[in-house]
Structure 1
Amino acid sequence: MKSICLFICVLSFQLMAGSLNWQRKADLLMPVQEIYPAVFQGEIYVAGGLSSELPKQQGQMTAQVQIYNPKTNTWRYGPALPEGRHHGQLVAVNDQLFLFGGFIQANGGNWSASADVLQLDLDQQRWLKVASLPAPLSETVSWVLDHKVHLISGRSPATKANAQWHDQADVATHWIFDPKLLKTEVAPALPEAKNSAAAVVFNEAGYLVGGRQVKGGNKAGVHSFNPKNQQWAAQKAMPEAQAGLAAAVLNQQLWVFGGEFFQQGGGVFHKVWSYSAADNNWQQQGEMPVPRHGLGAVALDDAIYVIGGATAAGLKQTSAVLERVIIK
């Protein structure tokens, strides 16, 4: 009976996916949300994050770094961050791994935006502070172009206060970090200030997808940045306004997963969308078997890995789910 049940469960899991083949993989060691995973040396790294499963006295955040090996389908803990941190931007570039900004416990609050640039020292097996951003920045997203890290959008302190979430304001920030010089320069600002977007490199340009404005709600807008002429351009908007989503590029298509909304009691987006530049069109590609927001997505070994997040809007029902998505 157990084998029959397992077969039916797996079959129903795959039928929900539409044109995608969803494979459930080993759960995270710790459920986390508001994460920005990175592929580093053939493995998936998840640094810090929030979790409804963690104590409120520690801000429900973690300093743990979780590493997934796709060959063995196993997770392990790596060198922990110096302190608990969430909404920090993890980026692999030039065989180096950096973490930019995010929120930490400081100034009497759990949402103090940080200007730290941390780097994983592989020899010492610990994280070192190697630079500071021009200002504290959190809920930002990134892409790597020409071996440099672009940090785009997010939230920064609106006043001298920097302790709680409401102390921050949406920004149109666009900075370029040079991993060799460990310096940051200002680049053309994005067309609108927002946070909780997703970012990918697509067709040799940087794409910024969705996001939200605190006073304006979720956004469906998509903008691309051309590194050659240093200009932004509006692209075809998503069919739905989404924030807290994740994106990845595979098979010459841009894929979007999850996100949250707060109208009518709030909820989590189920639909999976793909965008093709060839016909400038968005198309629904089934639904997520486990819809989530505050999740991560990375492309690795001809598949997309969808990681963590939460199954309800806000800091509730944090998930440890890891799925491998194969394009049929």
Structure 2
Amino acid sequence: MYKFFKSIVLIKAVLLCCIFQPLHSQSFENYAWEIIESNGEPVKRHEAAFVEAKGKFYLLGGRRIQPVSIFNPKTNTWTNGAEPPIEIHHFQGVSYQGKVYAVGAHTGKYPHETPLTEAYVYNPKKDAWSKGFSMPEGRARASTTASVYKDKLYIAGGILDGHWDGHVTWFDCYNFKTGEWEVLPDAPRARDHAVSVVSNDKLYMLGGRRSSGKIKKVMHLTVPEVDVFDFKTGTWSTLEMPVPNQRAGCTAIAIGNKILFTGGETMSQKQAHDQVDCFDTETETWSSLPALKQGRHGTQLIWHKKKLYIASGCAERGGSSELTSIECFHKL
């Protein structure tokens, strides 16, 4: 009988390892980027969101008012959805319960874009846009980061006046269940055009800059430090190791205990960045992964069925050379 129960315990242990191992030790060995030959193409854009909801990918917002571009990864097909009611750009899109949210976004033209005082919501099921909740009173800004953790939306940083001035360290939390905002401790440093991800009960804030048209340094003041908010302790800290390649207009995604950080723009080169830097949250070390086929900025990453996707954005710093391509990082 003892041997029987011992065997059962061992079997359960093996099953648990099989279930949880991929989440924490995702390996990218033998992975490579490939430009996908798709049916149709998206509306080219940048400073936009690229978000998965219920198995489909939604490329939405960006400069100008234009329809949502919808990608079906099962058929590699693009179709178009509804246009937003106003121009929405410079936001990190998130999905929650099947809807896509644009929070902390700009509208209007460079360099004095205006922060939107409300969130905008795209409902894929109805192919319709609507106004969502208001931004926290007196704390509207744009080009913030945005991440969802346990039914709450966390936005950090941002800028008050387009690409001109007014960088903030603000950190706020919106509770989807109660519809209320909470002001949280300020981040260690101000930044816009940054990105945040959540991994192992911590929020990581990476990249970005302080866009300062007022002193003629719109793209110069990139931020190397990685700031980390611990949800369990409610405190911020800063990693000892900064990002290997500073840039803004970047994107990142957490996959198990790994954070992949890519894309972006800087004054150091005309072309958008193609480097893919990988941070291990357990060892707190950086490594390099294969570069994107096409450097790009102003878009996002999607992890879907153990494949990583990125689409559209700009091939050069600024707003020129908008792309329609989509590429995938997958195992060979």
Fold equivalence (TM over 0.5)? yes
Q: Give the TM interval when normalised to the shorter protein.
A: 0.7 to 0.9
Contact 1:104-1:110 within 8 A present in 2 as well: no
Given the alignment, which residue of 49, 53, 64 partners 1:36? Answer: 49
Letter in 2 for 1:43: K
Residue pairs, 1:99-178, within 5 angstroms: 99-105=102-108, 111-121=113-123, 125-134=127-136, 135-157=139-161, 165-166=163-164, 168-178=165-175
Query: Gapped runs of 5+ residues in structure 1?
Result: 1-16, 51-60, 158-163
Structure with the higher strand share, 1 or 2:
1
Residue 312 of structure 1: SS of its match in structure 2? coil
Residue pairs, 1:234-273, within 5 angstroms: 234-235=238-239, 236-263=241-268, 266-273=270-277
Give me the whole-angstrom Cα distance separating, in 2, the residues matched to 1:89 and 1:277. 22
Residue pairs, 1:266-285, within 5 angstroms: 266-285=270-289
Given the alignment, which residue of 305, 309, 329 partners 1:301? Answer: 305
Given the alignment, which residue of 197, 202, 216 partners 1:200? Answer: 197
Give me the whole-angstrom Cα distance separating, in 1, the residues matched to 2:286 and 2:82. 40
**1:235-255 deviation per Cα after TM superposition (whole angstroms, max 9, x unaligned):** 221112221111112253111
Contact 2:257-2:282 within 8 A present in 1 as well: no
Contact 1:248-1:304 within 8 A present in 2 as well: no
Count of residue pairs brought into register by the alignment: 293
Residue 156 of structure 1: SS of its match in structure 2? strand
Query: Gapped runs of 5+ residues in structure 2?
Result: 1-27, 213-219
Residue pairs, 1:209-248, within 5 angstroms: 209-215=206-212, 217-235=221-239, 236-248=241-253
Contact 1:154-1:171 within 8 A present in 2 as well: yes
Taking structure 2 as the reference length, what is the TM-score of the superposition?
0.81
Give me the whole-angstrom Cα distance separating, in 2, the residues matched to 1:172 and 1:252. 26
Letter in 2 for 1:246: T
In angstroms, what is the RMSD of aligned CA positions? 2.4
Give me the whole-angstrom Cα distance separating, in 2, the residues matched to 1:110 and 1:44. 30
Aligned residue number for residue 55 of structure 1 = none
Taking structure 1 as the reference length, what is the TM-score of the superposition?
0.82
Give me the whole-angstrom Cα distance separating, in 1, the residues matched to 2:125 and 2:275. 43
Alignment pair present for 1:24 and 2:29: no
Compute the displacement of 1:214 (Å).
2.7
Residue 275 of structure 1: SS of its match in structure 2? strand
Give me the whole-angstrom Cα distance separating, in 2, the residues matched to 1:297 and 1:43. 13
Alignment pair present for 1:95 and 2:98: yes
